[in-house]
């Protein structure tokens, strides 16, 4: 009988042996060697920190590592799966490189504009020519949703030489498009569909959840297993579908994986992927309890009447489902500023929300997590609308800006000679950097795009918020920009 977690079990058995480790890592699993590590993390963690290429773990014929990969592929309905130790950011770069190897260099990829900044990193590395398709935008909440099959069909028709399509499902707020319809459209145009499902690793493991995008026809699916799959931070998976492009994509993904793979992958992160897969496959009851708790929180917010459940008011034709593990709360409806609420509730109540916008805070209820509904709802309703620290009255909101005009390819702009100028001088110039309000990490300006006054205002607005951060910015206040010379 095969182990339910072959890699994790092989690692555990090796850790239990009294091996004199004359090998890296330098702590040698000896609590005396680096006592600070042992005291902080515990001795067992040091024993589990095993270097790669160990016979009986990941070296030999059909190793426990390979068995774990096969079990993961089976669980998500994939033809093949790759384990990753640098998150779905690594998966995005691998996907971009694989598409770079696919077809001709001058063939474009049609991609959703509201993709994660790591996809832009991959575009730069791979030198992809990308034609963007715009998602639906909720201006009231300041968030992007997804792409409809009709929008993808139009975008692919406008780029008849495209070699692939790339979309995001679900969004940061849990909005889920028609992946099956998108896959059908992509295949009708003769191209594979890559899905950034970073936030959908748990999909398909409970009847109340949408299906896994792999089972809906995605040819390549990127999943941050650590986000909502239960593995440790920085661990992820990349899944190859069973569709018509599996054979042609597989060698390109293998090649890209070698380029992006660490030669010192963390055994602890890999084991967590093996264990998370088992948790999702066998934890339907625990997952169901978490989803019920998330629904109780939504219902508590609805009944109290002060705030709104933001997802109740999603009104976009691209959305066919909403992830029930996400609880998006429109605190702006109750006179509060989302960014300030997130900061104050963590400081005063030790409650940490995943994300905030001007209007909303979002709670993530992970599969199997226990949720104290009253504690969360009570902390929110305790905040007074006349408290200047959290009140939205008099606060000038910045709308999500439209992307600037594209003037250069992403890679051309990223590698072009550049200069650093003030924010005022940057308006109208071509950005050499990717700048993204974080979270969610969707680039507001990409290399090759013109920097608009609205984008500058929005990024500075985010940077000034209590929990604001702009990835790629030259300084915390976003007072300077790198532009093409």
Domain ranges of the chain: 80-263, 285-381, 410-484
CB 224 within 8 A of CB 196: no
Q: Which CATH class is domain 80-263?
A: alpha beta
Hey, which residues does 93 pair with through a beta bridge? none
CA angle 156, 223, 411 (to 5 degrees): 50
Residue 138: helix, strand or coil by DSSP? strand
Give the CATH number of domain 285-381: 3.90.1150.10
Six token digits for residue 176: 């889920």
Query: Would you state the pLDDT for residue 400?
Result: 79
**Which tokens belong to 410?**
């992403």
Residue 2 has pLDDT above 60, yes or no: no
Which has the minimum average pLDDT: 92-106, 227-241, 245-259, 356-370? 356-370
Q: Would the pLDDT of 395 be above 70?
A: no
For residue 180, pLDDT beyond 90:
yes
For 407-444, b where at least 16 C-beta lie within 10 A, e where not — what string?
Answer: ebbbbbbbebebeebebeebbebbbbbbbbbbbbbbbb
Residue 473 reports pLDDT greater than 70: yes
Average pLDDT, the chain: 94
Beta strand spans in 22-108 (E): 80-84
Helix (H) or strand (E) holding 150: helix 149-158
| Run of H or E including 86 | none
Phi first, then psi, for residue 336 (nearest 5°) are -115, 155
Query: Taking the C-alpha atoms of 333, 339, 341 and 345 in order, what is their torsion angle to the nearest 10 degrees?
Result: 150
Q: How confident is the model at residue 1 (pLDDT cuts 50, 70, 90)?
A: very low
> What is the share, in percent, of the chain residues with pLDDT greater than 70?
98
* DSSP codes of every residue in 427-468: TTSBBSS-EEETTTTEEEE-TTBBPPHHHHHHHHHHHHSTT-
**Per-residue CA distances from 255 to 61, 78, 247 (Å):** 21, 19, 14
Axis crossing angle, helix 149-158 with helix 179-188, rounded to the nearest 10: 20
Residue 381: pLDDT band (50, 70, 90) is very high
pLDDT at 108: 97
Which residues are bridge partners to 195 per DSSP? 167, 221
pLDDT of residue 439: 67
Higher pLDDT, 90 or 172: 90
Cβ-contact 314, 385 below 8 angstroms: no
pLDDT over threshold 50, residue 364: yes
Model confidence at 59: pLDDT above 80:
yes
Q: How far is CA 191 from the centre of its chain?
A: 23
Label residue 438 by pLDDT band (50, 70, 90).
confident
Q: How far is CA 287 from CA 294, 321, 370, in A?
A: 11, 18, 10
pLDDT at 143: 80
Q: Contact at 8 Å (CB) between 222 and 260?
A: no
Distance from the first to the final alpha carbon of the chain: 64
| pLDDT in the model for residue 392 | 83
Task: Give pLDDT, residue 462.
Answer: 87
- What pLDDT, on a 0 to 100 scale, did the predictor assign at position 171? 92
For the whole model, what pTM was predicted? 0.93
Rounding to the nearest 10 degrees, give the CA dihedral for residues 265, 64, 201, 410.
40
Asked whether the predicted pLDDT for residue 461 surpasses 60, the reply is: yes
- The number of residues making up the chain comes to 485
Q: What is the CATH number of domain 410-484?
A: 3.90.100.10
The set of residues, in sequence order, having a beta carbon less than 8 Å from that of 120 and lying 6+ positions away, is 410, 434, 443, 446, 447
- Given a contact cutoff of 8 angstroms between Cβ atoms, the answer to whether 166 and 119 are in contact is yes
């Amino acid at each position: 009988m095969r182990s339910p977690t072959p890699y994790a079990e092989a690692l555990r058995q090796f850790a239990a042996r009294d091996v004199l480790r004359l090998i890296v890592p330098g702590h040698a699993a000896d609590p005396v060697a680096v006592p600070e590590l042992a005291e902080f993390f515990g001795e067992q963690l040091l024993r589990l920190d095993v270097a790669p290429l160990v016979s009986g773990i990941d070296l030999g014929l059909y190793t426990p590592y390979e068995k774990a990969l096969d079990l993961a592929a089976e669980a998500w309905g994939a033809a093949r799966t790759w384990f990753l130790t640098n998150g779905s950011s690594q998966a995005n770069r691998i996907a971009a490189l694989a598409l770079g190897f696919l077809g001709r260099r001058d063939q474009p990829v049609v991609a959703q504009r509201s993709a994660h900044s790591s996809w832009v990193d991959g575009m730069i590395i791979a030198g992809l020519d990308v034609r963007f398709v715009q998602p639906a935008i909720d201006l009231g909440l300041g968030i992007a949703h997804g792409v409809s099959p009709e929008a993808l069909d139009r975008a692919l028709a406008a780029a008849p030489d495209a070699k692939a399509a790339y979309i995001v499902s679900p969004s940061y707020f849990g909005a889920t498009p028609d992946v099956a319809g998108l896959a059908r459209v992509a295949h009708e145009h003769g191209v594979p569909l890559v899905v950034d499902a970073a936030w959908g690793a748990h999909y398909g493991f409970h009847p109340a959840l949408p299906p896994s995008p792999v089972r809906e026809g995605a040819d390549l699916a990127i999943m941050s297993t650590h986000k909502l799959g239960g593995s440790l931070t920085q661990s992820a998976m990349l899944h190859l579908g069973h569709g018509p492009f599996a054979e042609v994509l597989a060698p390109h993904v293998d090649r890209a994986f070698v380029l992006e793979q660490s030669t010192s992958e963390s055994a602890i992160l890999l084991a967590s992927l093996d264990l998370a897969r088992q948790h999702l496959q066998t934890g339907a009851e625990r997952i169901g309890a978490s989803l019920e708790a998330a629904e109780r929180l939504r219902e508590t917010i609805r009944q109290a009447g002060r705030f709104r459940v933001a997802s109740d008011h999603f009104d976009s034709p691209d959305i066919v489902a909403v992830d029930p593990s996400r609880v998006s709360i429109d605190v702006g409806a109750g006179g509060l500023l989302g960014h300030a609420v997130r900061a104050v509730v963590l400081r005063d109540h030790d409650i940490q929300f995943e994300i905030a916008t001007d209007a909303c805070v979002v709670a993530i209820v992970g599969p199997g997590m226990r949720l104290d509904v009253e504690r969360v709802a009570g902390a929110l309703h305790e905040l007074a609308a006349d408290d200047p620290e959290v009140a939205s009255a008099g606060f000038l909101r910045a709308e999500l800006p439209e992307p600037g005009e594209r003037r250069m390819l992403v890679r051309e702009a990223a590698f072009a000679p550049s200069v650093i100028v003030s924010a005022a001088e940057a308006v109208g110039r071509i950005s050499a950097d990717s700048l993204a309000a974080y979270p969610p990490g969707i680039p507001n300006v990409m290399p090759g795009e013109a920097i608009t006054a609205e984008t500058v205002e929005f990024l500075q607005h985010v940077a000034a918020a209590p929990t604001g951060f702009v990835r790629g910015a030259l300084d915390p206040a976003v007072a300077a920009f790198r532009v093409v010379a």
